[in-house]
Amino acid sequence: MKKVITYGTFDLLHYGHVNLLQRAKALGDYLVVVLSTDEFNWNMKQKKCYFSYEERKRLLEAIRYVDLVIPEESWEQKISDVQEYHIDTFVMGDDWQGKFDFLKEYCDVVYLPRTPEISTTQIKNDLKK
């Protein structure tokens, strides 16, 4: 069984997120999504989420491409996640191009193109208008 992992906040879930998850799942048989906790988002990313961790987790678990959702609590956990879950492929959007190449020692690293016309930031900005 080929296992794939991806990371994100997945706040205000939209079709760009679903596109990423679908393409990530197509690279293997089992998709692990590591979801940033509220504390990690606030303390490390200075992001306040609209939906709580538990709400975002529930939304992700409802998507057929997602097999497991686990919490992201630190930047440093990626190597241990890859090892613990026996990951074959690490996937991120191409806006992170090169940032996770250090994981190539442990698994394949793939940067997928983002869906260009949609983002959570864009949704938030449009709602302010």
Q: Could you give the residue numbers annotated as active site?
A: 45, 47
Q: Judge contact between 91 and 27, C-beta under 8 A.
A: yes
Structure-token pair, residue 74: 């630190």
Q: Which residue has the tokens 């949609």?
A: 118
Report the C-alpha gap between 48 and 114 in whole angstroms: 22
Secondary structure of 66-113 as H, E, C letters: CCEEEEECCHHHHHHHHHHCCCCEEEEEHHHCCCCHHHHHCCEEEEEC
